[in-house]
Chains A and B, each alone.
Chain A
Amino acid sequence: MSVVLTARTHALPFKLAVLATAALTVSVLALPGVAAAETRTFVVGYFGQATHNVQDSECPAGINPDVTVQYLKNLVTLGYSQAEIDKMVNQSADNEGGSVNEIMRMRGRVNGQPTNPYAYPASVTDPKLNAMTGGKYAYGFDLDGKGAESPKAFEDPETHQAGVDNEMARAFGCSRAFRGSVNARSAYWSWAWAQLKDSQPAWVITITGADLAKDGDVTVTFDRALHYLKSNIDGTPRADTTYRIDPDPRSHNVLPGRLKDGVIQITEHGSFRMLQNPMVVNDFKLTNTHMRLNLKPDGTLDGILGGYQLWADIYSGFAHSAPAMEVCITGDIPGLYYLLKRHADAQPDPKTGENSAISTSYTLMAVPAFVVSPDGKLAGGG
C-alpha cells in the first residue's frame, strides 16, 4: 500500500508550520486502522551497478583490452591481413582513425553485407570477451533460492550471505570501464550518474513504520520526482530539499519489508520499475526484486537493490548511444551483447529455452529529503 500520511490539518503550502528541528522525523496522528507511524523520506543521491572488483585475479583470462586493441582483433576476425591492418593503422594516424573506425561502425555482416553492429549485434562474430570467472564476491541476493548450492553463486562482500546470484557482475567484471568497488566507483557508472544527476528527475524513497528506531514491519516506497536532484556546492547531493512525486504510475513501487538492527530487507519479491533518462536503461525493470537498505546514524541511507533484469534492456542502454559509447567506454558493444546473452540465468524463453533475464544488483545512496505526494501533501504529514 502507498502510505502518504496527511493527518495534520494545515493547509499546504500556506501554513507549513513544521518544527524546523524535527522536520525529518515527523510523527503523525493515527489513521483509522493504522498504528501511529513514523515516516522518513529520502532522495537518491547515487545509483549504479554494484561492483566489487578489487584484484586482477578475478579475471584469470585477463582484463578485456581497450578499444584500440579490440578493434585490431576485430579486423582480424573480419578477415583483414596483418599487412592490411598495419597499413590501416598507419593511415589512421593521418586520418584520425578514419578507416578503422568506419569499418568498425559497420562490422556486422548479413549475407556478407556490412551491417550496423549495434542495432544487429548478432551480425557480429562474438569477440568472446572475458567474464569474471575468478571472483568470489559480488553484491546481491540469493535470487534462485538455491543458496550456496547454486553452481555459480557469489558471496556478498558486505553481508557474507552465500548463494548470491549476480551474473551481470560476472559478465562485466573484466571490462575496464565497469570494474570498480565501493571506494572506487567504476568509470562507466560514475560517469553515467554524473551525466544524469543534474537533469533527470530524481528518485525518492519513503519509508514508513511504527517506529523506525526499533525493529518491525515497514513499507518502502520508490517514486520518481518532478525535479532533478539538487546538489550542494561541492557537488554532493543536497539534503533536506523538497521533491514532488510525479503522478506517472509507472514509477511507483510499494515494497513491504522488515527493519532489523537498522537494516531494512524487503519481504515480498515482486517487480520493480522506475523510469530513467535514456542515456542508460530508460525503463528500469526488475523481477524477483530484493533490497536491503541501511538506515545510517547520520540520517542518510544506502543499500543494494537486486533482481532479474531483461538483458536486452541493458544492452539497448549501451547500443543506442553507440558508436560514441563504444569508443568512450565499453570497448566492444556487441561483445557486451554476447556476454549478457551468455550469462543470462533466468526467465527462459518458452520456445527457445534461452534465458531472457540476468541476475544483477545495483547500489544506491540517499539523503534525507521532503517528499510531497502528487496531490500536494507532505509525506509523513506536516
Chain B
Amino acid sequence: MNTVTDKLANRRNVLRGMIGGAAVTVGLPFLDGFLNSHGTALAATGAALPVCFGTWYQGLGFNVGRWLPDRVGPNFEHNVELKMFDPFKPRMNVISGTKYFMDGRPLETHSSSWQIASTGMLLTGVNSGPSLDSMIADSIGTRTRFRSLEVSLDGSRGSYSNRSGGARNPSEASPAALYARIFGPEFKDPNAADFTPDPMVMARQSVLSAVAEERRSVMGQLGASDRARLDEYFTSVRQIEHQLGLEMQKPSPLPACSMPEKIAETKVGRTVVESETNNKLLAQLMAHALACGQTRVFNVQSGGNGLRKPGSTQTWHSWTHEEPIDPVLGYQVEVTWFINWANTQFATFLHALDGLKEGSGTVLDRTTVLWQTDHGHATTHTMEMLPILMVGNASGRFKTGQHVALLGDPATRVGLTMQQAFGVPIATWGQLSNETSKTVNEILA
C-alpha cells in the first residue's frame, strides 16, 4: 500500500462487504486506518495538536450588578466589569448563578469555597478528593514532562491543585524560577527529541486487533437497519484505532515551540505592581510551555485576599469588609479598582496564550481556561450567584460565545462538564449538595 488513500479505499471495500451481510474474512489488520471523526482521510502530519486545560482562581468575586451580562444565550454583551474580555467574547462563556453548598458544615470563609470549587467537596483529610485539574491531567497530561504546572501571582506557594488526600501542588511565584524549571538544562526540544511509543498503547492495539474478528461476528444475524447502526459502531471503533495509531507515531511537530528569552529575577510580593510584572512573565512562560508540549494542564492562583497597592497595608480583602458602598455609584470604589485590575491581569494572560500562533490557530484555541472565584458578593462573602468564566474551546470541545445562567445549581456542574469534556471518566462529581451528574450541556460541543 502506498498512500493513505489506498488504505482508505480498501477499508471502504471491506465495509461495503460487511453491509452487504456477507461473512467476509478480512485479512487487513484493523490498526492502520487513517480516518478522522468524519471518516475522511487525515494526513499523517495533520494530527490535531493536543488540548490543554488551565484554571485561574481569583478571590473575592465581582460586584453584584456590574458583571452579569445583559442577556442569556449567545449575543450577550459583557457588562462593565468584564469589558476587557471583549476580544475573547466569541471564544468564552460567562456562567452565572451557581452556588457552593455548605450543608450546615462550619464555614471557613475563604477556604471552604475554594475546596468546593476545586474538588467539589469540603476537604476531609485523607478522604479528600482530587482537584479537577489533576483529574483532567490524568486524562490528557500523562505523557508530558510535567503533569501540571502551578503558578501564583500573589507571591505565595499555595495552589488549589491537589491529588487525593489533600496534599497540594506547590505554586511557583517567581518567573525566573519557573523559567529554570521548564527551560533549564533539562529541557528537550520536543521537535528534536527521540520518540518512544508507550507500551500500553501497543498493548491496546494488539487487543483491538485480537478481538476485531470476534466483534465483527455481531453483524451476522442483523436486519438491514440494525446493520447500519452497528456499522456506525465499527466506524467509531476505527476512530479509536486511529487515535492509537497516532499515539504510536512521533507526535506532530509543535509549530509554535520556541525557547523564550531567559528571565531575570523579579521581585515577588503581594503588591499589584509586582503581581502585574510577574503575571506578564509567567503568562509568556506558560504559553511557551504549552506550545512546547511541556505540560497540558496549568493552575494559576491569582489570589486576591492579600493583594494591595504599593505603600498601603490595606489589602483588597480588607477593603471588601471595610469600604462603604459609594452612595452614588452603588459599589465599593477601591474594591472595584482591584476587580478591574485583576480582570486585566487575566486578560493579559489570555492574550499571551493567544499570541502564540500555531498554523491558523493559537495556543489559546486548543486550550480552555476555567476562571473561578470564592464569593458571589465580596462585601458579604456569600457563596451564591457565583460568576464563572471559561475561555477557549479546547479545539472545539466546547461551544462558546454564550452567557449561561444556572440559577441555584451547584457550581460543580461546571467542573463536572470540564472533566467530562477532557475525557475524565466520571458521571458525577462533588459531595452532598455539591454532588451533581448534570453537565452544562449548553457549553458542550
Contacts and interface: CB of A to CB of B under 8 A. Distances in A.
A and B in direct contact, judged by CB atoms within 8 A:
yes
Interface of A: 66-68, 71, 89-90, 92-94, 96-97, 100-101, 176-177, 179, 184, 187-188, 190-191, 193-196, 198-199, 227-228, 231-235, 277, 327-329, 331
A187 B310 contact: no
Contact of B324 (A187, A199, A227, A235): A187
A176 B382 contact: no
A231 to B, nearest CB: 8
Contact of B106 (A68, A100, A176, A199): A199
Max count, chain A CB within 10 A of own CB: residue among B99, B313, B325, B327: B313
Interface of B: 99, 102, 104-107, 109, 155, 267, 269-271, 306, 308, 310-315, 317-318, 321-325, 327, 379-385, 407-408
Given A66-B314, A198-B104, A199-B105, A235 B382 contact: yes
Given A93-B271, A233-B99, A194 B381 contact: yes
B379 A190 contact: yes
A68 B107 contact: no
B270 A199 contact: no
Given A199-B102, A199-B105, A199-B106, A67 B380 contact: no
A92 B104 CA distance: 39
Contacts of B308: 97
Given A68-B312, A71-B313, A96 B102 contact: no
B109 A195 contact: yes
A96 B270 contact: yes
Nearest to B311: A93
Given A176-B323, A176-B324, A329-B321, A199 B104 contact: yes
Q: Which of B306, B314, B322, B407 has the most CB of A within 10 A?
A: B322
A184 B325 contact: yes
Contacts of A232: 408
Given A234-B385, A235-B384, A328 B321 contact: yes
- 4 interchain residue pairs of minimum CB distance: A233-B408, A235-B384, A194-B380, A97-B313
A176 B322 CA distance: 6
Given A94-B269, A234-B408, A277-B106, 10 more contacts: A89-B313, A92-B313, A93-B271, A96-B270, A187-B321, A191-B379, A193-B380, A194-B381, A195-B381, A198-B107
A71 B382 CA distance: 29
A230 to B, nearest CB: 10
A105 to B, nearest CB: 13
Contacts of A193: 380
B269 A328 contact: no
Q: Which of B105, B109, B306 has the most CB of A within 10 A?
A: B109
A100 B322 CA distance: 19
Contacts of A235: 99, 382, 384-385
Contacts of B381: 191, 194-195
A227 B102 CA distance: 13
A329 B381 CA distance: 13
Contact of A198 (B102, B314, B407): B102
A195 B308 CA distance: 24
A231 B270 CA distance: 36
A331 B314 CA distance: 10
Contact of B380 (A71, A191, A329, A331): A191
A200 B250 CA distance: 59
A184 B323 CA distance: 13
A284 B109 CA distance: 22
Contacts of A188: 321
Most chain A Cβ neighbours within 10 Å, of B308, B323, B324: B324
B313 A100 contact: yes
A234 B314 CA distance: 31
B322 A328 contact: yes
Contacts of A94: 267, 269
A93 B310 contact: yes
